[in-house]
Structure 1
Amino acid sequence: MKPSSSTPLLRVRGVAKRYGDQVALHEASFDLWPGEVLAVVGESGSGKTTLLNAIAARTAPDAGSVEFLGRDGLLQDVHTMSQAQQRLLARTDWGFVHQNPADGLRMDVSAGANVGERLMGLGERHYGRLRCTAEEWLQRVEIDPIRIDDAPRTFSGGMRQRLQIARNLVTQPRLIFMDEPTSGLDVSVQARLLDLMRQLTRQMHLAAIIVTHDLAVARLLAHRMMVMQRGRVVEAGLTDQVLDDPQHPYTQLLVSSVLQP
């Protein structure tokens, strides 16, 4: 998925985070290219969510840099941006899909309002266009447009997660972060959601970083993967290579399902 350009979409170098005496993240580094999906895997407490939050500018790292390729073709460290610049980035070029959809949705306003809110944040005020775009996106994530005026609290868990995806993708972002997006869903619902995410990332040439403990999710969605243990990246490479021929003992344990999530 690496394009001909020598500049990645995201460049992460030496990102580290401590909580008191505990090292939560130890000098993580990687590049992410446009249209590439990266899975970050490991058991609970491995540091994968800490890494995701540091990359997405939701928490500030203690060391290191996270540079994002702007539409002007220049890399800029997101942690040196102002809060206003970070907020603009978060509602335009970035999306963030939470493990619990209630954290990423406004539960008491309509499904259509949830999707249209990001567009309104960019200045769209025409009610007809907002409603039309919301209906289109509900269809794209396999929600019947007849539910456009229903609140997400009336939706099933799988529908809420699909609505959260629509809310994030409506602004045509270039990078989306996903934190355990299939966790807590029934197996059949997971399969449907994963198929949808695979379709959308390909159609939109969308780069994504997916945190998961589920290696099946990584195999289905990700071009590359990183394996984390105790705050360190212990193995990284093409997804099929890592899963079919794991080199690090911890990865070997994960693949053989000795460790439980």
Structure 2
Amino acid sequence: MNLPVFDDGAPLLRASGVTRYYGTRIGCTDVSFELWPGEVLAVVGESGSGKTTLLNCLSTRLVPTSGVVEYRMRDGAMRDLFQLNEAERRLLMRTDWGFVHQNPADGLRMTVSAGANVGERLMAVGARNYGAIRGEAESWLDKVEIDTGRIDDDPRGFSGGMRQRLQIARNLVTGPRLIFMDEPTGGLDVSVQARLLDLLRQLVGEFGLSAVVVTHDLAVARLLSHRMIVMRGGNVIETGLTDQVLDDPRAPYTQLLVSSILQV
């Protein structure tokens, strides 16, 4: 991917020494980076590398054992996410952030219609006009390549790829600035993965989104991200521009990943 043009030289998200233990077991340790507006960061590694723990700490789903995660609010101020009160964090999650789960059932309400899944997030930020909400939901179904004639169908009748696209629509309808993605193509067959990746890349570029993408698939990292972090055993092994890391890996572990000797 081409590097984005950053808006004013200030990061959107900053992690400083983020560490999380589960008792005596390391989840992730001493992770630091800055994420810029319009930038996509991939976090890659094998199962148990700590990438999902890191994602959950960044998105406030887990409280770090130590370290700081800061976010630049819309007023330009950098705030420590874990110093925000619960109402402030909930507001961020409804407006400025999205979270795309590997299993779309975790990010959708499976017993309400596709339109209601998208419309609920609009209602959470104050939308009340039924016609306008339905119109916006229909527009977003079209954007994510779901037949708008299925707006009243519930997701239980959708394929896995359609559910994932619906989850993406639900997340993007409120115009967030930052999206967290946890293995967004996991569990989908190859042709569905390719279509979904093309859609994600298009939407990220069109709306100037920043994103943190957790994946074990280096092809996903190459297609979606500008920079990447390679993790193993909770530690950062290598970091850099995605093409640089994948085309000329420095760390022996990254070389194994890239050469596919190590099965992730």
Query: TM-score range with shorter-chain normalisation?
Result: over 0.9
Which residue of 1 is the match for residue 111 of structure 2?
Answer: 108
- Alpha-carbon shift at residue 5 of structure 1 (Å): 2.2
Match of 2:173 in 1: 170
- In structure 2, the residue matched to 1:31 is 34
Residue pairs, 1:193-208, within 5 angstroms = 193-208=196-211
Q: Percent identity at matched positions?
A: 68
> Partner residue of 1:129?
132
Distance change in 2, residues 1:4/1:108 (3 Å): closer
- Paired residues of 2:11 and 2:34 also in contact (CA < 8 A): yes
Cα displacement string for residues 143-172 of structure 1 (whole angstroms, at most 9, x for unaligned residues): 000000000011000000000000000000
Indicate the residue corresponding to 1:44 in structure 2.
Answer: 47
Which of 188, 192, 199 is equivalent to 1:189? 192
Query: Structure 1 segments of 4 or more deviating over 6 A?
Result: none
Find the counterpart in structure 1 of residue 243 from structure 2. Answer: 240
Structure 2 residue 69 is matched with structure 1 residue 66: yes
Match of 2:231 among 228, 233, 238: 228
Amino acid at match of 1:122: V
| Residue equivalent to 1:3 | 6
Q: Which residue of 2 aligns with 1:249?
A: 252
**Which of the residues 78, 83, 87 maps onto 2:81?**
78
User: What amino acid is aligned across from residue 124 of structure 1 in structure 2?
Assistant: A
SS at match of 1:254: helix
Q: Secondary structure at the residue paired with 2:42?
A: strand
CA separation of 1:50/1:200 partners in 2, compared to 1, >3 Å: closer, same or farther? same
Check the 8 A contact 2:18/2:28 in 1, yes or no.
yes
CA drift of 1:2 comes to 5.4
Note if contact 1:98-1:104 (Cα within 8 Å) is conserved in structure 2: yes
Give the Cα–Cα distance (whole angstroms) in 1 for the partners of residues 5 and 205 of structure 2. Answer: 14
1:213 aligns with 2:224: no
Question: In structure 2, what is the equivalent of residue 13 of structure 1?
Answer: 16
Q: What residue in structure 2 maps to residue 95 of structure 1?
A: 98
Letter in 1 for 2:234: G
**2:7–2:37 Cα contact (<8 Å) kept:** no
Give the Cα–Cα distance (whole angstroms) in 1 for the partners of residues 205 and 7 of structure 2.
Answer: 18
CA shift for structure 1 position 4: 5.5
**1:52 aligned counterpart, secondary structure:** helix
Cα distance, 1:259 vs structure 2: 1.2
Stretches of structure 2 lacking an aligned partner (at least 5 in a row): none
Q: CA deviation at 1:7?
A: 1.5
Equivalent pairs, count: 261
Match of 1:139?
A: 142
Corresponding letter in the other structure for 2:130: Y
Alpha-carbon deviation of 1:201? 0.3
- What SS class does the counterpart of residue 95 from structure 1 fall into? strand
Q: Is the 8 A contact 2:20 2:26 kept in 1?
A: yes
Determine the C-alpha separation between the residues in 2 that align with 1:36 and 1:59.
23
* 8 Å contact from structure 1 (residues 2, 33) kept in 2: no
Alpha carbons 1:99, 1:179 under 8 Å: kept: yes
The DSSP-based 3-state class of the residue aligned with 1:88 is helix
Q: How does the TM-score come out when normalised to structure 2?
A: 0.98
Task: Report the residue type matching 2:123 in the other structure.
Answer: M
| Structure-1-length-normalised TM-score | 0.99
User: How far apart, in 1, do the equivalents of 2:85 and 2:100 lie?
Assistant: 23
User: Whole-Å Cα distance in 2 between the matches of residues 44 and 99 of structure 1?
Assistant: 14
Partner of 2:153: 150
The letter for the 2-side match of 1:140 is K
Separation in 2 of the partners of 1:101 and 1:6? Answer: 35
SS across alignment from 1:73: coil
1:201·1:207 contact (CA, 8 Å) conserved in 2? yes
In structure 2, how many angstroms separate the alpha carbons of the residues matched to 1:202 and 1:6?
19
Q: What's the offset of the Cα at 1:220? A: 0.4
